[in-house]
């Protein structure tokens, strides 16, 4: 049984796998292009952005694809379905880092840490900088799945009000209030923080328009850690330049990496991070824990897979 | 009945007091030196750092001092006791801002926000910066009162392990484990974050020595939001220079304001803030809410004062 990785985990993780499964051989490659044993693989472990229809066609023994991420927009699902290949992924491991990242920037904003750092660089003791709080502020989360709920859970610990928006308005834990997506314009005016973790679907693509930013508070903070095609970036630039909102934090973009000399880079009151909200030092260890669990299940011909992907739904 | 403030609250707060107590006159002054009606005052509202023994002696009608803060090291308690003057303060209103501030810097550290900001300034998309998490990290809190407990409560929400240290090792909510102060050297080696909110007392003054930093993890983060005399600052500078710890966040100092050209200003891996962890835009509104409650009690000759200070204990 050939197990082929299209990436190289750190040695410590490789050692853990060898120790847990001494009878198996794990073949690690830097990329799918360099994976010369791919065609013999029964199991492929990938980040999910490299496998094409052609790869799948050329792997006659392939039975299981473990995707060590959650975003699978680029997976050739039709071919995978035809060949009845099992797909599992690492969904659920993003919620902790992404929620920490979001709350981190919310605190960074109200506590004015970048300005405090500038005063330190100038060696200036300035007690007059007015610091804010998260307590009693209103957080609006677009998308109330695992990640949005984890953000709301932490926000409640910070004594915030939490409002969620999802497709049907179905209730979720840790949200004081949930609204339907078509009520978005009604709930935006009261929000102090607007966080989107929406995936890219037909319904969410370019969902946010000028009118949405126009009804936000002037002090509002917009955070997008979902997908870059939630809005035309020019709309956000205009909203910031006309002081419709106070600050935006973007971790995702229409084109990634964000191209050199893109106007967003130098936009005032905008913080740019390189699509890293979900990736931390704990990411791969967690993904490999799911893989190890599922490998045990696979070897025992079991059915108790963690994070089995429904090939019809694509998640 | 003269009510004299030795500071000027914002107009909105003044208006709220006048509305709640239309029959009373509130006299606001910029400072105790400018408060020319001080000698006629029955009630004085102060931040607690300006009243001297002489002021108290010169106020024959003084019955009540409301201190709109919690630190009262500079209050002339002996004279106040002799004259049997009621003292109330604003303790308890610090815990929310100080806990938010602490968690904010912990996130700022693990998420490497200042470095991400530098990459943005260079217009560089760098996904290789390894981001950390708070989850599963170990937080050690020196001082397990209201503020320390609030920090631990939030840390538990972030799935951290929380260890507290206090004088007698008495248990407190939100701490997985509590140790006595004389066990400090034993618990320091396992801590990822060490936060001190200790007040300045005979027992805490210069409590932290070289040996304490020597046993900390190289990756440890030290945060002091209590009092500056917890340690000789040269000890911390040495610990940072010899890589005994990764970073320190200081909000309090032996001398405040931190003097110009003090070596701490330009110390690497040290973040300096001007004793502002407790002061936010919500601070005075909360303090004035306590004052308004107590003024009602006072006028009704009641006894249900909020935050009455025990003059023997000084808190």
Q: B108–A103: do the CB atoms touch at under 8 Å? A: no
What CA–CA distance (Å, rounded) separates B277 from A115? 14
For A107-119, the pLDDT digits (tens) are 999 999 999 999 9
Q: A130–B280: do the CB atoms touch at under 8 Å? A: yes
CA distance A202 to chain B (A): 28
The answer to whether A12 faces chain B, any CB pair under 8 Å, is no
Angle at A150 between CA A144 and CA A154, to 5 degrees: 125
The answer to whether B272 faces chain A, any CB pair under 8 Å, is yes
Q: Which pLDDT band holds residue A162 (cuts at 50, 70, 90)?
A: very high
Rounded to whole angstroms, the maximal C-alpha distance in chain B is 68
For residue A257, cis peptide bond before it (omega within 30 degrees of 0): yes
Q: Which residues of A touch B275 (CB under 8 A)?
A: 127
A182-210 burial, b if ≥16 CB within 10 A, otherwise e? Answer: eebeebbeebbbbbbbbeeeeebeebbee
Backbone phi, then psi, for B57, in 5-degree steps?
-60, -35
Q: B258–A125: do the CB atoms touch at under 8 Å? A: yes
3-state secondary structure at position B34: coil
CA distance A216 to chain B (A): 21
What is residue B235's predicted lDDT score, i.e. its pLDDT?
A: 98
What CA–CA distance (Å, rounded) separates B221 from B140? 10
Please identify which residue in the block is written with the tokens 């599992």.
Answer: A88
Q: What is the pLDDT along chain B (315 residues), one digit of tens a residue?
A: 999 999 999 999 999 999 999 999 999 999 999 998 999 999 999 998 899 999 999 999 999 999 998 777 788 999 999 999 999 999 889 999 999 999 999 999 999 999 999 999 999 999 999 999 999 999 999 999 999 999 999 999 999 999 999 999 999 999 999 999 999 999 999 999 999 999 889 999 999 999 999 999 999 999 999 999 999 999 999 999 999 999 999 999 999 999 999 999 999 999 999 999 998 889 999 999 999 999 999 999 999 999 999 988 777
Q: A133–B265: do the CB atoms touch at under 8 Å? A: no
What is residue B173's predicted lDDT score, i.e. its pLDDT?
A: 94
What is residue A171's predicted lDDT score, i.e. its pLDDT?
A: 93
Q: A153–B157: do the CB atoms touch at under 8 Å? A: yes
For residue A214, cis peptide bond before it (omega within 30 degrees of 0): no
For A101-144, the pLDDT digits (tens) are 999 999 999 999 999 999 999 999 999 999 999 999 999 999 99
CA distance to A142, A144, A209, A212, A214, per residue, from A164 (Å): 6, 6, 19, 16, 20
What CA–CA distance (Å, rounded) separates B221 from B103? 12
Q: Which residues of A touch B126 (CB under 8 A)?
A: 274
What is residue B222's predicted lDDT score, i.e. its pLDDT?
A: 98
Contacts 24+ apart (CB under 8 A), B71-77: B71/B199, B72/B48, B72/B309, B72/B314, B72/B315, B73/B200, B74/B48, B74/B49, B75/B48, B75/B51, B75/B314, B76/B51, B76/B52, B77/B311, B77/B314
- Write the secondary structure of B104-160 as one string of H (helix), E (strand) and C (coil): HHHHHHHCCHHHHHHHHHCCCCCCCCCCCCCCCCEEEEECCCHHHHHHHHHHHHCCC
Q: Which residues of A touch B100 (CB under 8 A)?
A: 107, 110-111, 133-135, 158
Q: B282–A108: do the CB atoms touch at under 8 Å? A: no
The answer to whether B28 faces chain A, any CB pair under 8 Å, is no
What CA–CA distance (Å, rounded) separates B184 from A103? 31
In this structure, how many other beta carbons lie within 10 angstroms of the beta carbon of residue B299? 12
Q: B133–A276: do the CB atoms touch at under 8 Å? A: no
Q: Answer whether A208's CB lies under 8 Å from A254's CB.
A: no
Please identify which residue in the block is written with the tokens 């199991």.
Answer: A43
- Restricting to B residues 99-138, those with a Cβ less than 8 Å away from any Cβ of A are 100-101, 103-105, 107-108, 110-111, 113-114, 116-117, 119-120, 123, 125-127, 129-136
In this structure, how many other beta carbons lie within 10 angstroms of the beta carbon of residue B310? 8
State the helix-helix crossing angle for B95-110 and B146-157, rounded to 10 degrees.
40
pLDDT at A315 over 80: no
For A191-219, the pLDDT digits (tens) are 999 999 998 899 999 999 999 999 999 99
Report which secondary-structure segment, H or E, holds A179. Answer: strand A177-180
Q: Which residues of B touch A154 (CB under 8 A)?
A: 157-158
Mean pLDDT within A44-55: 93
For A212-268, the pLDDT digits (tens) are 999 999 999 999 999 999 999 999 999 999 999 999 999 999 999 999 999 999 999
3-state secondary structure at position A227: coil
Domains of chain A, start order: 2-93+281-299 (3.40.50.720), 95-272 (3.40.50.720)
Residues in chain A: 315
Among A132, A133, A260, A281, the strongest candidate for a mutation testing the B interface, having the largest count of B CBs within 10 A, is: A133
Q: Which pLDDT band holds residue A92 (cuts at 50, 70, 90)?
A: confident
Nearest to B107 among A104, A130, A279 (CB): A104
Q: A282–B103: do the CB atoms touch at under 8 Å? A: no
The answer to whether B250 faces chain A, any CB pair under 8 Å, is no
What CA–CA distance (Å, rounded) separates B112 from B132? 8
Q: What is the ipTM of this complex?
A: 0.87
What is residue B312's predicted lDDT score, i.e. its pLDDT?
A: 83
What CA–CA distance (Å, rounded) separates B33 from A251? 52
């Amino acid at each position: 049984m050939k197990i082929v990785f299209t990436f190289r985990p750190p040695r410590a993780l490789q050692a853990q796998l060898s120790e847990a499964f001494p009878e198996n051989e794990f073949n690690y490659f830097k990329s799918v292009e360099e994976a010369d044993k791919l065609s013999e693989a029964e199991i492929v472990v990938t980040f999910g952005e490299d496998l094409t229809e052609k790869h799948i066609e050329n792997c006659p023994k392939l039975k299981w694809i473990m995707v060590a991420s959650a975003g699978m927009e680029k997976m050739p699902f039709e071919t995978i379905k035809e060949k009845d290949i099992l797909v599992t992924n690492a969904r659920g491991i993003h919620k902790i880092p992404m929620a920490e990242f979001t709350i981190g920037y919310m605190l960074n904003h109200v506590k004015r840490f970048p300005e405090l750092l500038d005063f330190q660089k100038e060696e200036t003791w300035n007690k007059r900088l007015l610091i804010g709080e998260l307590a009693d502020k209103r957080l609006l989360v677009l998308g109330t799945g695992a990640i949005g709920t984890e953000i709301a859970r932490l926000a409640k610990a910070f004594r915030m009000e939490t409002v969620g928006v999802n497709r049907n308005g179905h209730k979720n834990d840790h949200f004081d209030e949930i609204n339907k997506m078509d009520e978005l314009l009604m709930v935006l005016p009261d929000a102090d923080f607007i966080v989107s973790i929406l995936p890219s679907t037909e319904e969410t693509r370019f969902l946010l328009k000028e009118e949405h930013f126009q009804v936000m508070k002037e002090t509002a903070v917009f955070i997008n850690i979902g997908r870059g095609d939630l809005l035309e970036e020019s709309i956000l630039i205009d909203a910031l330049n006309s002081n419709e909102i106070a600050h935006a934090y973007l971790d995702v973009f229409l084109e990634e990496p964000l191209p050199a000399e893109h106007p967003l880079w130098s936009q005032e009151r905008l913080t740019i991070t390189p699509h890293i909200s979900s990736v931390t030092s704990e990411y791969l260890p967690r993904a490999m824990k799911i893989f190890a669990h599922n490998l045990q299940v696979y070897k025992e011909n079991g059915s108790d897979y963690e994070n089995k992907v429904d090939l019809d739904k694509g998640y």
